[in-house]
């Protein structure tokens, strides 16, 4: 490794922040600069209150920050000072124009490529860390090569496979690191950074297009497993089979394996839905209608699962939840993250508010401002407009609480929407005593101690298990 290696990462989000913190930790001699246009996000990265909650992340950042890890809004200067530039900006689903609702919005990627082209001199390696449609590198290359400064570039694809909630562990011991590119020298330079802590045989190299497509495919396969077991959960509820038992039985087959077979209220997060829809859009673009339809079903099944859950709550509670208080436990899309993007909780809360339920929400990591913002967005039109009626509905019918006990007090029902550990073993008796009867509990993650809570007197409804009252 040349001592002149220095890194800049554009985008200080859930990927850019943790990924660069890990590189900085493992390579103390390499300066790593993380830049973002969002001043308050950068301020948070420079404070004790990081914008991303991940177990173990505080320690990693504290070790490297100020030594060789820097957070800044000076995008141009940091690009100029670095030999490797990662692009880790967001690539949301387009909400307007051609491909709306499916294609990835590449506006931020293109802006980054233009900024890099404008302010670079000499030779730079540009690394796509964001998840991108196949052949995006072609467009990035064309923009970079139009640089008037005479700078030269190699473009690599190095998609990130970390999962939120376990990001530090995933970055420390990834199943593999994937680097796609045309220049073997550029691939080697990047591989040498990862080699500091990752065994060489886990660093896979491919061509650019395989690397870009592998990331979309990985997310499509993972989400497909969740939708597959969720589809079976509906059949279990109708037949008396238990989806957790079915998952255990099939997961022991080594050809299937046990991971990603947990039935739930539906997958969320910023990636699965976005990346599958992107895959669907690509297939349609290349005239592969049947392939597009095949993958789209994974998203359809997820939407169905979320709707099915809220419908079950209403049906079970005597077909009306109007003016009933429902405690919502968990708002993040999964445990151990403060991220709420595409969280199933948002959809379930919207459905229940539509039914005029009163919601008392508790999540250990998501702030009230984020919860209210997400609910307002859920009721907004395509241009982000929120009607006065919907705003009033949220203001009047939603309260956010600081503890499980506070949220569940005087409630008619509890809905568990995130699998936070504290929801697995709460004081059932104390909660039960403060609730109306029947005390309903809808477990959207199958995490509560069903038997114990049933003995206390709760009427527990789990995913993929017929309700005992119906058996
Ligand atoms: N979140 C995940 O678990 C995950 C995992 C793997 C891959 N990815 C992919 O990584 C990419 C980033 O995801 P994320 O979750 O970190 O997004 P994010 O929204 O948390 O962060 C993106 C950041 O980029 C910044 N940004 C946008 N345009 C910019 C510009 N021109 N200059 C400087 N900063 C700019 C934004 O202000 C934001 O802070 C996406 O393509 C995503 O699909 C995400």
Residues 371 and 242 in one domain: yes
**Whose CA is closest to atom 12 on ligand 1?**
90
Q: How many domains does the chain have?
A: 2
pLDDT at 467: 80
Which range marks the domain in which residue 363 is found? 224-470
Average pLDDT over all residues of the chain:
96
Indicate the top mutation candidate among 9, 10, 14, 337 to test ligand 1's pocket, ranked by most ligand atoms within 8 A of CB.
14
What CA–CA distance (Å, rounded) separates 352 from 98? 33
* Residue whose CA lies nearest to ligand 1 atom number 21: 13
Give the number of the atom of ligand 1 that is nearest the alpha carbon of residue 111: 31
| 181-189: average pLDDT | 97
- Predicted confidence (pLDDT) per residue in 434-443, tens digit: 999 999 999 9
User: Any idea what the CATH number is for the domain that residue 381 is in?
Assistant: 3.40.50.720
The reported pLDDT for the residue numbered 433 is: 98
| Cα–Cα nearest to 288, from 300, 277, 280 | 280
Task: Write out pLDDT tens, residues 260-314.
Answer: 999 999 999 999 999 999 999 999 999 999 999 999 999 999 999 999 999 999 9
Query: Is residue 79 in contact with ligand 1, taking CB distance under 6 Å?
Result: no
What does the pLDDT look like over 326-342, one tens digit per residue?
999 999 999 999 999 99
Token code pair at residue 149? 């400064």
One domain, residues 201 and 247: no
340: in domain: yes
- Clarify whether residues 295 and 396 are in a common domain: yes
Give the chain as a 3 state SS string. CCCCCCEEEECCCCCHHHHHHHHHHHCCCCCEEEECCCHHHHHHHCCCCCCCCCCCHHHHHHHHECCCEEEECCHHHHHHCCCEEEECCCCCECCCCCCCCCCECCHHHHHHHHHHHHHCCCEEEEEECCCCCCCHHHHHHHHHHCCCCCCEEEEEECCCCCCCCCHHHHHHCCCCEEEEECCHHHHHHHHHHHCCCCCHHHEEEECHHHHHHHHHHHHHHHHHHHHHHHHHHHHHHHHCCEHHHHHHHHHCCCCCCCCCCCCCCCCCCCCHHHHHHHHHHHHHHCCCHHHHHHHHHHHHHHHHHHHHHHHHHHHHCCCCCCCCEEEEECCCCCCCCCCCCCCHHHHHHHHHHHCCCEEEEECCCCCHHHHHHHHHHHCCCCCCCCCHHHHHHHHHHEEECCCHHHHHCCCCEEEECCCCHHHCCCCHHHHHHCCCCCCEEEECCCCCCHHHHHHHCCEEEECCECCHHHC
Structure token pair of residue 304: 């169905």
- The Å distance, Cα 113 to ligand 1 centre, comes to 15
Is the CB of 128 inside a 6 Å radius of any atom of ligand 1? Answer: no
- Is the same domain home to 256 and 402? yes
Please tell me the distance between residue 270's alpha carbon and the centre of ligand 1 in angstroms: 10
50 and 151, same domain (yes or no)? yes
Record the tokens describing residue 86, joined without a space: 């990662």
Q: Is residue 218 part of a domain?
A: no
C-alpha 365/C-alpha 456 separation (Å) is 28
**What confidence category does residue 41 fall into, taking pLDDT thresholds of 50, 70 and 90?**
very high
Check whether 77 has a pLDDT greater than 50.
Answer: yes
Ligand 1 centre from 322 Cα, in Å? 39
Same domain, 198 and 256: no
For ligand 1, the distance from its centroid to the CA atom of residue 214, given in whole angstroms, is: 19
What's residue 4's pLDDT? 87
Cis upstream peptide for 2 (omega within 30°)? no
The rounded Å distance from CA 271 to ligand 1 centre is: 11
Q: In the chain, what percentage of residues exceed pLDDT 70?
A: 99
Of 308-312, 333-337, 448-452, 467-471, minimum mean pLDDT range = 467-471
Position 196 scores a pLDDT of: 98
The number of the ligand 1 atom at minimal distance from the alpha carbon of 274 is 43
pLDDT bucket at 149, cuts 50 / 70 / 90:
confident
C-alpha 92 to ligand 1 mean position (Å): 9
Does residue 433 share a domain with residue 292?
A: yes
Q: Is the pLDDT of residue 383 over 90?
A: no
Say if residues 30 and 7 touch (Cβ distance below 8 Å). yes
- Does 418 map to a domain? yes
Please give the pLDDT value at position 382. 83
Same structural domain, 21 and 165? yes
Cβ(91) – ligand 1 distance below 6 Å: yes
Residues 190 and 245 in one domain: no
d(CA 305, CA 302): 5
Residue 46 lies in a domain: yes
Whether residue 211 is contained in a domain is answered as no
Residue 293 lies in a domain: yes
* Confidence category of residue 470, pLDDT binned at 50, 70, 90: low
Query: Do 443 and 357 meet the contact criterion of CB atoms below 8 Å apart?
Result: no
User: Which residue, of 206, 240, 266, is where some domain finishes?
Assistant: 206
CA angle 83, 85, 87 (to 5 degrees): 175
State the pTM of this model. 0.96
Confidence of residue 2 (pLDDT cuts 50, 70, 90): very low
| Bridging pattern class, strands 203-206 and 325-329 | unpaired
Q: Which of 178, 206, 234 is the last residue of a domain?
A: 206
* 121 lies in the same domain as 175: yes
Q: What is the mean pLDDT of residues 420-429?
A: 97
Q: Are 324 and 357 in contact (CB under 8 A)?
A: yes
In the predicted structure, residue 1 carries a pLDDT above the cut 50: no
Within a 13 Å sphere around the CA of 3, how many CA atoms are in the beta-carbon half? 1
Q: Indicate if the pLDDT at residue 257 is higher than 90.
A: yes
Mutate to test the pocket of ligand 1, among 12, 136, 270 (most ligand atoms within 8 A of CB): 270
The answer to whether residue 214 is domain-embedded is: no
Q: Average the pLDDT over each of 78-82, 94-98, 153-157 and give the range with the smallest value.
A: 94-98
When pLDDT is cut at 50, 70 and 90, the band that residue 468 belongs to is low
Q: Best mutation site among 8, 9, 10, 11 for ligand 1, i.e. most ligand atoms within 8 A of its Cβ?
A: 11
Greater model confidence, 414 or 1: 414
**Is 212 inside any structural domain?**
no
For residue 99, is pLDDT > 80? yes
Ligand 1 atom nearest to 167, measured from its CA: 3
């Amino acid at each position: 490794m040349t001592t002149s290696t220095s890194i800049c990462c554009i985008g200080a989000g859930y990927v850019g922040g943790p990924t660069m913190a890990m590189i900085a930790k493992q390579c103390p001699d390499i300066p790593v600069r993380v830049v973002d246009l969002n001043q308050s996000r950068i301020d948070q990265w420079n404070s004790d209150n990081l914008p991303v909650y991940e177990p173990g992340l505080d320690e990693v950042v504290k070790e490297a920050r100020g030594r060789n890890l820097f957070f800044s809004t000076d995008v141009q200067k940091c690009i100029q000072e670095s030999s490797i530039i990662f692009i880790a900006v967001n690539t949301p689903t387009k909400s307007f124009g051609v491909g709306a609702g499916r294609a990835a919005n590449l506006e931020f990627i293109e802006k980054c490529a233009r900024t890099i082209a404008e302010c670079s001199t000499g030779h730079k390696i540009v690394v796509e860390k964001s998840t991108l449609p196949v052949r995006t590198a072609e467009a990035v290359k064309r923009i970079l090569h139009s640089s008037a400064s005479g700078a030269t570039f190699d473009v690599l694809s190095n998609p990130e496979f970390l999962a939120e909630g376990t990001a530090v562990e995933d970055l420390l011991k990834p199943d593999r690191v994937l680097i796609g590119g045309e220049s073997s020298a550029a691939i080697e330079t990047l591989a040498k950074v990862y080699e500091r802590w990752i065994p060489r045989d886990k660093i896979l190299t491919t061509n650019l297009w395989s690397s870009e497509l592998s990331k979309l495919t990985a997310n499509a396969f993972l989400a497909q497993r969740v939708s597959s077991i969720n589809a079976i959960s509906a059949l279990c509820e109708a037949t008396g089979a238990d989806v957790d038992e079915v998952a255990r039985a099939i997961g022991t087959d080594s050809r299937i394996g046990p991971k990603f077979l947990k039935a739930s209220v539906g997958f969320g997060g910023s990636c699965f839905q976005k990346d599958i829809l992107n895959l669907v859009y690509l297939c349609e673009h290349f005239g592969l209608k049947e392939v597009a339809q095949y993958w789209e079903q994974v998203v359809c099944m997820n939407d169905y699962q979320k709707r099915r859950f809220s419908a079950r709550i209403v049906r079970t509670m005597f077909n009306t939840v109007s003016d009933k208080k429902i405690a919502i436990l968990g708002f993040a899309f999964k445990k151990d993250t403060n991220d709420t993007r595409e969280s199933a909780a948002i959809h379930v809360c919207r459905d229940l508010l539509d039914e005029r339920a009163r919601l008392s929400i508790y999540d250990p990591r998501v702030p009230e401002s984020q919860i209210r913002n997400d609910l307002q967005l859920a009721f907004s039109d395509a241009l982000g407009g929120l009607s006065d009626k919907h705003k009033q509905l949220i203001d009047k019918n939603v309260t956010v609480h600081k503890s499980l006990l506070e949220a569940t007090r005087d409630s008619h029902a509890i809905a568990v929407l995130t699998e936070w550990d504290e929801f697995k073993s709460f004081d059932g008796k104390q909660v039960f005593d403060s609730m109306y009867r029947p005390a309903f509990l809808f477990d959207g993650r199958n995490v509560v101690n069903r038997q114990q809570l049933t003995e206390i007197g709760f009427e527990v409804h789990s995913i993929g298990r017929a309700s005992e009252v119906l058996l």
